[in-house]
């Protein structure tokens, strides 16, 4: 069961161009329609990449551009690094953010070959505190349909993903655990962890 859930998470994250970050706070202006439109745009772009017939390396580069376009990558990286972000210097955070963006693209982009014939169907949108939750169902060949919640905020001045919840599991928290384990293996050395992250995925 654990292997199956992990595979679902990787596939769905790739399809959605996932973004992971802390819960947003502050003024709220995002509408139901705006949140749904964001999900529709991301899915449309991912589907075009899948159907492009490009090499896997080219698709991964496209995926990284999609991730950068629809995710608040600076906030995502800081949240994923967790409490260690408070001791990181500005230059270390810039390096980590750049490495994390590539890591996400490689890790999830490698699943593109399994996406053929897949689609995401948006089922509904609701406001939750200061963000919107877009409920969807993912259909993939050889898999039972499963639910993915896209959490969308305009915290940074534009509509962006800040987390996805796949069958009840937050990808933001999953990646925070992964990065934490990498940092532990380097005895808390942020620079060494960043070098490892550039090769991971």
| Predicted confidence band of residue 14 (pLDDT cuts 50, 70, 90) | low
Q: Write out pLDDT tens, residues 119-136.
A: 778 888 999 988 899 898
Location of structure tokens 């293996």: 185
Residue at token pair 């596939």: 11
Burial 27-50 (b: 16+ CB within 10 A, else e): eeebeeeebbbbbeebbebbeebb
Please give the model's pTM, rounded to 2 decimal places.
0.74
Is the pLDDT at 11 greater than 60, yes or no?
no
Of the chain, the percentage scoring pLDDT greater than 90 comes to 25
Whole-number pLDDT of residue 29: 63
pLDDT at position 110: 76
Read off the pLDDT of residues 87-111 as tens digits, 9 standing for 90 and up. Answer: 999 999 999 999 999 998 888 777 7
Residues 152-187 have pLDDT tens digits of 888 878 888 888 788 888 888 888 999 999 999 999
Q: What's the pLDDT score for residue 176?
A: 92
Q: Look at 74 and 188; give whichever has higher pLDDT.
A: 188
pLDDT of residue 10: 56
Mean pLDDT for 49-72 is 84
E-only strand ranges, the chain: 119-128, 131-139, 146-153, 160-166, 169-170
Q: For residue range 141-158, list pLDDT tens digits in order.
A: 788 898 888 888 888 788
Q: How many CB atoms lie within 10 A of CB 51?
A: 11
Strand order in the sheet with 146-153: 119-128, 131-139, 146-153, 160-166, 169-170
pLDDT at position 112, please?
Answer: 65
The CA distance from 121 to 71, in Å, is 20
Quote the tokens at residue 63: 């995926």
CA 136 vs. chain centroid, Å, equals: 15
Cα–Cα distance between 16 and 92 in angstroms, integer?
28
Domain ranges of the chain: 2-21+28-199
Give how far Cα 93 sits from Cα of 24, 68, 98, 100, 104, Å: 20, 16, 8, 10, 16
Kindly report the CATH number that applies to the domain delimited by 2-21+28-199. Answer: 3.10.450.710
Enter the tokens of residue 79: 């949240």
Q: How far apart are CA 150 and CA 143, in angstroms?
A: 20
Q: What is the pLDDT of residue 19?
A: 38
Which pLDDT value is given to residue 201? 76
């Amino acid at each position: 069961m654990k292997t199956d859930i992990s595979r679902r998470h990787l596939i769905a994250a790739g399809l959605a161009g996932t973004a992971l970050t802390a819960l947003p706070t502050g003024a709220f202006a995002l509408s139901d329609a705006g949140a749904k439109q964001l999900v529709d745009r991301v899915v449309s772009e991912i589907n075009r990449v899948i159907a492009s017939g490009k090499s896997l390396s080219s698709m991964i580069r496209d995926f990284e551009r999609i991730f950068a376009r629809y995710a608040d990558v600076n906030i995502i990286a800081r949240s994923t690094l967790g409490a260690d972000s408070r001791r990181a210097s500005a230059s270390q955070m810039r390096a980590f953010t750049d490495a994390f963006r590539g890591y996400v693209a490689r890790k999830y982009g490698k699943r593109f070959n399994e996406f053929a014939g897949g689609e995401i169907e948006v089922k509904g949108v609701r406001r939750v505190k200061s963000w919107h939750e877009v409920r969807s169902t993912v259909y993939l060949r050889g898999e039972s349909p499963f639910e993915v919640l896209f959490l969308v905020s305009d915290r940074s001045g534009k509509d962006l993903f800040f987390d996805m919840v796949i069958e009840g599991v937050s990808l933001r928290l999953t990646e925070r655990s992964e990065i934490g384990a990498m940092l532990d293996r380097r005895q808390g050395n942020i620079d060494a962890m960043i070098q490892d992250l550039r090769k991971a995925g």
